[in-house]
Amino acid sequence: MLETEYRYRDSSMPCETSADAQTLRNLVLKFVSHSNYMQVDCQPIVSTFSGESCTFGHENVTHGWNSEFVGHPDLQGKIRFVPSFFIDPSTFGSFDDVMDGDFNWNSGWPIHVTTDFVRNLISEEPVENTHSFLATTSSNNDASAIDLSLCSVQNTFNQTIGSSESDLKHVQNLAALSESISSRDGTSKPTYMAAVSPWFFTHYGEDSYDKNFIYLSDQHLYLKRWESLIATRDQVDIVQILTWNDYGESHYIGPIKGAQPNSQAWVDGMDHTGWLDLTNYYATAFKTGSFPSIEKDKLIMWSRTHPTHATAPDPVGQPTNYELFEDAIWAVVMTTAPSTVVISTSSQDSETFDVPAGLTKLSVSISPGDGMQGTISRDGNTIVTLNPSNFTFERNPKVYNFNAFVASASAD
C-alpha cells in the first residue's frame, strides 16, 4: 500500500498545481503493479495522510482530486483510493466521486481526551466520589496536577481508551459513497481502514516543526484498541498499525534504524520492539477471528523514564496534555499455564500476581529512582526473568521525554 503525506508545516508533497498531481501519479504508477503491493477487490490501495485541502490547481478539492488523480486517464479504474482526509465524516458524501473508502488515522488514540477535557470532568465531580487507583500526582506540589483517581476520570478513560466509537461513526457515514462506488468500481462496499497505535509523544520546539504534545496512551492503549477492532472486525476491512518507524511521534514498533527526523533526544535508547509479540498475537486474532494459542511464556513491560510532574531545563517545555500520564509500569504477561508473576520497582517494593493461562494485563506504580524487574514462575521454578539494567525512573531529567521504554523477555 502506498500512502502519501500532506502536512501543513512539514509537507512532504505539495498539491497546489497540476504538475504536483503528475508527480504523485508517477509515484503511484511506479509501485502499484508490483506483485507484493496490497490490493482490495483486485485493486491496489492508495492512501494519504491529510490532503483534504489539495486542489491541484482546480477550483475546489473534489474536482482537483477527481480530475488530476482518481479520474485521470493514468489512474482511472486502476486504484482503490482510501485517503485519510481530516474532515467531518458527515461530509463524506461530497467526496463520492473521489473516495473509495476512508482511513481513520485519528482512531488510534482517544484524541479528544485532553487536559482541558479532564479538568472539565473534575469540575463536575462530587468531592467524595473518589476511589483508590495508581497514584500519579503524589510527591509533587504542582498546581497543574490532575487527580486521575476520580471516578469520572477513570470511567471516561475506561470508555474511551481503545474505543470503537469513532470507527462506527466513520463506517456509518461511508454508506454515502456506496452508490457512486458501485457505478465506478462494480462494488457497493466502501473500504474502511482503522488505525491502531501503541503511543504518541512528539517534542519539537518552535524553531523546528513546532509540535510538542501527547495523546493519552496509558492503560494498555495498544491492547485495548486491538480488542475493540477484533470485536468489530466484521465492519473493519483493514487495520493499519501506526507506525513501523515514525520516530518523531514515538509510535514506532520496529527497531530504531536509519535516519531520524531530529528526534534522537526522545528516541535513542527507547526500544519498542517488545510490542512486536503483542502485534503478532492481536493481528492474528483480527485476521482469523480467533486468538492464537500461547506457546511460549513472555513478559513485556513499559514505562516512561521520569515522573509526570518532573521539571527539566528543557527549552521546548512540557508537552501539551502531559498531565494525563500516570507514573506506572504497564505489563503484559503471556503464559502457557497458570503462573505467579512478580513485578518489582526496587529491592523493597514488589507486587505479586497469580495469573491464569493466556494474556493478562498488569500495572504497578513507580517512583523516582526506581527501576523495573519482572519474573514469571511456575511450580517453584522461575521461567522468565526481565531485568533491563538500562532503565531508571529519573527524578531530575535533563529533557522532557514522554516516550515509552519497552522491555521484554521470553522463556528459553
Cβ atoms 403, 247 nearer than 8 A? no
Indicate the burial class of 308 (C-beta count within 10 angstroms; 0-12, 13-18, 19 or more). Answer: buried
Q: Can you give the pTM of this predicted structure?
A: 0.92
Round to whole Å and give the CA distance between 402 and 407: 16
- At 140 the pLDDT is 44
Selection from 15, 169, 31, 200 nearest residue 102 by Cα: 169
Which of 383, 349, 386, 377 lies closest to 364 in space, CA to CA? Answer: 349
The pLDDT value given to residue 2 = 65
User: Which among 373, 352, 356, 360 has a CA at the least distance from the CA of 333?
Assistant: 360
Give 183-190's long-range contacts (Cβ < 8 A, gap of 24+).
184/77, 184/97, 184/100, 185/41, 185/43, 185/77, 185/80, 185/100, 187/41, 190/99, 190/100, 190/101, 190/102
Reduced to 3 states (helix: H, G, I; strand: E, B; else coil), residue 324 is helix
Question: Distance (Å, rounded) from C-alpha 357 to C-alpha 293?
Answer: 10
pLDDT of residue 147: 85
Q: DSSP E strands: which ranges in 311-386?
A: 328-335, 339-344, 350-355, 358-365, 373-378, 381-386
Residue 13: what pLDDT? Answer: 87
Which spans in 32-150 are helix H?
Answer: 61-65, 115-123
Instruction: Count Cα neighbours of 64 within 13 Å in the Cβ-side half-sphere.
Output: 20
Amino acid (1-letter code) at residue 243 = T
Residue 410 neighbours by CB under 8 Å, 6+ apart = 277, 296, 297, 298, 299, 384
Query: What is the pLDDT tens value at each position of the chain, 412 positions in all?
Result: 666 655 444 447 899 999 999 999 999 999 999 999 999 988 999 999 999 999 999 999 999 999 999 999 999 999 999 999 999 999 999 999 999 999 999 999 999 999 999 998 888 766 554 443 333 333 444 546 788 888 888 899 999 999 999 999 999 999 999 888 887 767 668 999 999 999 999 999 999 999 999 999 999 999 999 999 999 999 999 999 999 999 999 999 999 999 999 999 999 999 999 999 999 999 999 999 999 999 999 999 999 999 999 999 999 999 999 999 999 999 999 999 999 999 999 999 999 999 999 999 999 999 999 999 999 999 999 999 999 999 999 999 999 999 999 999 999 8
Report d(CA 101, CA 191) in Å as an integer. 4
Residue 189: strand, helix, or coil: coil
Cell 528459553: give the residue: 412
Residue 138 is predicted with a pLDDT of 38
Handedness of CA 141, 146, 151, 157 (dihedral sign): negative
pLDDT of residue 126: 61
Location of C-alpha cell 515509552 = 404
Nearest CA among 318, 258, 109 for reference residue 195 = 109
User: What's the pLDDT at 9?
Assistant: 40
